[in-house]
Chain A
Amino acid sequence: MSDKSVVVERRGWIGEALAAFVVPALLAAGVVAVLLRIDPHWEPAAQAAGVCRELIAGSNEGRQALLGSCWVAPLPSLFYLPFAWLLPEPLAGWVVFFGGWFFLLWSVNEGCRSTGASWWRVVLAQVAVSAIALLSGGAVRQLVPVLAGGLLVLAASGLADWSAERRLRDLVMTGSAAALLLLTGLPFFGVAVLTVLALPLAACGHRETRVRFSAWMLLVGLPIVYAFWVWLLMNRLVLGDLLFFLRSLVHVTDALWKLAGALIVPGVVLALVLPLVWWLESRKGGEPGAGRSAGTLVLLGTALMVLMSERLLGGCGISWEVAALGLGLPLLLVVAVTRLNQPCYQLIVMLVLLSLVCRIDSSSSEGGESRAADSAVICSQVEEFVDGATPYGRVFVLGYSGIELLRGYSGERLVPNLDLHIDGVREAYKGQNLYVLVPEPVGKARTESVFWRYPDIYTHGYERLLYAGAFGSWHLFEIITAPTQEQVDEWRRSS
């Protein structure tokens, strides 16, 4: 219970403030400034911004968008929501990214401090992490990998500290961080669950702690089980289908078993690491806990697990998502190196080497993210087209891509719609000329529920959908409605 506080006291409040708040804030501001300099129109979370817009408007689409897909998980949108409420776009996006990066660097401090790392070591690690991201050409420009990176560090360092010293707080840290990681998106499902499973197993090397296995399991596992249960429940309540957010898995991946395997197989690393932890603990004897070398071993094992997840998931046809894991490996390596408490020059050399060697590949991570300016052009073109055809037009812009497209749109002609129920909208908008704007099913857009309801809608339309034109990569279709009796009578009279 005590040693962490002792470390904090030894650091002094100035060192603590520097490592935990001041330097992370300065570095986060620096990263945001550099990324804005590279691309002044950069938007770190366009999709989350769109979801938040709908949530603030209180629309059903917003609720569905928040919960209805394992690819667009709720945590980033929830993190964004208060900022979207308080600040205008695009400022909100930048502030959110600043917050995310601050959290990431703060988590580096949390991950290192239990080993007694002095504040300047942590600061060096934070600088290294920022450098890796920027030297990779600003590859980490999206909110999701940044948030997930911070959570990954917390979960992994919690597991490492637990293996080393068996403190209750580490267990809570691992459980909570893993639960939030689960809510960050599908690529993190496997790592989160495996980390949680590893924790009580790590305690099996000591007789005193082994008997409390069920208590550890309950404490560390409950947050993740609960998070998943809430997600399921909300899908049942909001969307009427318990598994709605997982349905796209069947349609997106080549084979579901391959995806499941890719999520679980990295657990092999644990099968290798845990016996080593038990062996270290048996050698140490005395108090529970396997010591600091076991902690380092666990951190490196988790890093390897992340690397395996990245490679295996990449082979499942969801490469646009896997890039989110990319930051995990260098992050965990930096934390592991900093925790070793080696001499100053060694640490600097190792961090510089890591900064030069580690590159975050996010070449395919952009999937579907569109610029606000391009979105505005498409919206105005579609609006113009529809206005030219009819004064009573209504365009349903489909999917999460649609929510993202409309994030800066203030008119009434275009409305977001996540999964098109053609009969339903015809009934709801009687007497209006209805259109559907369909995104191109590439990258993350392939996971949209509309594509597993109407697989060929983009290329061939659907019953009563008539192709009307292309706007950028979007296709516009008109919904053909049967005339009402009054319209038929009117036409008869006029003819």
Chain B
Amino acid sequence: MREDSAEVLAERIREVDPLELAKKRPEWSASQPVTRGQKMSGAVILLLIIVALVISPLKTLQVMVAGCILFYIVLTLYKFIVIRASVCKSATYNFSPEEIAAQEPREWPIFTVLVPMYKEPEVVKQMVNGLREMDYPPECKDVQILLEEDDELTLEAARKLEMPPGFKIVEIPESFPRTKPKACNIGLALAKGEYLVIYDAEDLPEKDQLKKAVMAFEASPDNVACIQSKLNYYNPRQNILTRWFTAEYSTWYDLQLPGLSALRALIPLGGTSNHFKVPILRDLMGWDAYNVTEDCDLGVRLVRAGYTTRMLETTTWEEACSDFRLWIRQRTRWQKGYIQTWFVHMRSPWQLSRELGFINSLHYHLLIGGGPFATLINPIFWGLAITWFIFKPDQVATLFPGPIFAAGAVCLFLGNFVFIYVNLLGCCKRKRDDLMWLSLITPIYWAMMSYSGWRALLQFFKDPFLWEKTQHGLMGKK
């Protein structure tokens, strides 16, 4: 595996087209964020709303409020159903240490590990050591550290280290867009493994994760193209933000995604620790270099192509963002990516619903479109509720006639409670009991999410390809 000389590697990198997807299947790429047809449709809908508002403002507003409340009810029920499904035995693949030990002696397939990094010299050593210590035969590891050509500091830090066998540094040539998926596409082209996984620079995967992933692939049907590991944070107690963030991740990876897996539903992949079958990933032309949540987009494309994703009972420990401003930037990118993904796949809605099927279409709209939409409308309804509680103006009351008032009250009191309670459950399942009390004031965290949601929406139109990178190593610095 050390046969690649620097020149050969550079030559092969030059041959790779990381933007293959955008060129060959532009309809699947976010290179054009909003198509002409979508712009037209949006304009028509906006015009209709304006006309309706002019003709009958009260009725129009009542209909819009009723629509939003119906959306909240559906979202709450959906959350309930998914969380309920997460307790199924089939929700995750689970292998005990004894089962893993019983596999030996055997030949393990080559596993490619991609580690895209940018301006993170301080974590290179930790990352290399962590991957070296993973319980997988060294001769079967194909580790690629993907570094940008102009990132001198990280390159220097990496070059100083003595790389173990099977590890190599891949320099990504400078080009637009400067995104993680573009680097990963190059890594995919160079991959030697049967399977491939992505880790972030600061990730600490459980030592036996690669073996578990191989066993999960072997135990799963042929159409399982991806195995997603659980993610969680190793610094929850750093500050209030990391506590909330950990509670949210515990809910997402320990309840929500296993629930989706049990329902055999579409899973928006997490940024790291997703294990792929390389040939299928190549067939799908890898990641969309223009999408800022390329993982989520890939999760949808897998299902559209007839494949599926399952969850694996193993955890990769990451560093939770502990800085408010950086958290906003990170969350903005995630939400913008979800918006991008929703628009990309909604270019031909009928084809999408045919490929996904009815149930997965619902999952798609509620997860990918519904999430950001909820964060956008939340502040409006919180504002209305607070205004009504304090001032009781008639104008607010007229927006909620009879049954809409009752349904709105159910959403306000039951819906919000369900979301908080699910957070508590996530913490409890992860045995993070100390985070549970703080989860009671999660609505403050939701307000922050709404802020980043609006920021994401604006940025989607203004600067769709801007990659607001998550900065790691803050814990060490502090």
Interface residues of chain A, those whose CB is within 8 Å of chain B, are 1-2, 4-6, 55-58, 78, 81-82, 85, 167-169, 172, 212, 214-215, 218-219, 222-223, 226, 230, 237
Contact = CB atoms under 8 A, between A and B. Distances in A.
B403 A168 contact: no
A1 B91 CA distance: 10
A230 B413 contact: yes
B99 interface: no
Contact residues of A: prevailing secondary structure: helix
A2 B425 contact: no
Contacts, number: 52
A215 to B, nearest CB: 4
Nearest to B410: A78
Interface in B126-155: none
10 contacts: A5-B87, A5-B90, A55-B403, A57-B402, A215-B433, A218-B437, A219-B421, A222-B424, A223-B417, A237-B389
A427 to B, nearest CB: 20
A122 to B, nearest CB: 19
Tell which of A5, A82, A223 has the most Cβ of chain B within 10 Å.
Answer: A5
Nearest to B88: A5
Contacts of B428: 168, 215, 219
Interface of B: 87-90, 389, 401-403, 405-406, 410, 413, 417, 421, 424-425, 428-429, 431, 433, 436-437
A169 B83 CA distance: 10
Contacts of A57: 402
Contact of B401 (A2, A5, A58, A81): A58
A444 B88 CA distance: 45
B99 to A, nearest CB: 15
A214 B433 CA distance: 8
A180 to B, nearest CB: 11
A5 B428 CA distance: 21
Contacts of B90: 5
Contacts of A172: 425
Contact of B87 (A4, A78, A219, A237): A4
Contact of B436 (A82, A169, A218): A218
A101 B172 CA distance: 66
B421 A6 contact: no
Contacts of A169: 87
A78 B89 contact: no
Given A168-B429, A214-B433, A222-B424, A5 B403 contact: no
Contact of A212 (B89, B417, B433): B433
B89 A81 contact: no
Contacts of B405: 58
Contacts of A2: 89
Given A214-B433, A218-B436, 18 more contacts: A55-B402, A55-B403, A55-B406, A58-B401, A58-B405, A78-B406, A85-B403, A168-B87, A169-B87, A212-B433, A215-B428, A215-B436, A219-B421, A219-B424, A219-B425, A219-B428, A219-B436, A223-B417
Contacts of B429: 168
A288 to B, nearest CB: 13
A219 B413 CA distance: 17
Contacts of B424: 218-219, 222
B417 A226 contact: yes
Nearest to B87: A169
B254 to A, nearest CB: 11
B230 to A, nearest CB: 14
Contacts of B410: 78
Contact of B89 (A5, A82, A85, A167): A5
Given A78-B406, A215-B433, A222 B89 contact: no
Contacts of A82: 403
A227 to B, nearest CB: 9
